[in-house]
Amino acid sequence: VISYDPELHMIQFATKFLIQIFSHSKDKESLTMWISRMKTFYESNNNACRWFLRLLINDKDLIDFMLLSGPTEKIRSAYTSLVSHALFSLAPNERSLYDQTVSWIKSEGVGKNMKGYSYSICFIQTLLILL
């Protein structure tokens, strides 16, 4: 049974808006405010953090745009702080999965079914491959 989580859907919508629309707008001054708000949303919702990291893991071009080749240093820095915040927010709940996840990645690589593994470690592995 799939349950509807309005808070998660709101965070997903806001994240996609921020990445796909706002980062291409002329109003770059509000970016800091929006990133700050998004951090607050992610801080209180581990499912949103997992969704965000999975979004990035599954879209390496998005990682490249957000963290490596985005239009300005200010935008890349803002997105880096958002990703870091999601990683930091998940850390207390994922620490016990780190060793198991590293072993899984060594044997199988980062796969589609990450349930039961650390999304943070999977994201870091994906980022390392890109570098």
For the residues of 73-126, what is the DSSP string, one character each? HHHHHHHHHHHHHHHHHHHHHHGGGHHHHHHHHHHH-S-S--TTS-HHHHHHHH
| CB-CB contact of 114 with 54 (8 Å) | yes
Decide: pTM greater than 0.85: yes
pLDDT value at residue 101: 87
State pLDDT tens for residues 29-80: 788 888 999 999 999 999 999 999 999 999 999 999 899 988 888 888 999 9
Distances in Å between the Cα of 18 and the Cα atoms of 8, 26, 61, 71, 80 are 15, 13, 16, 14, 13
- Residue listed under structure tokens 């207390």: 92
Residue 2's pLDDT is: 62
pLDDT in tens, 71-119: 888 888 999 999 999 999 999 999 999 888 888 888 877 766 777 889 9
> Locate tokens 């965070």: which residue?
11
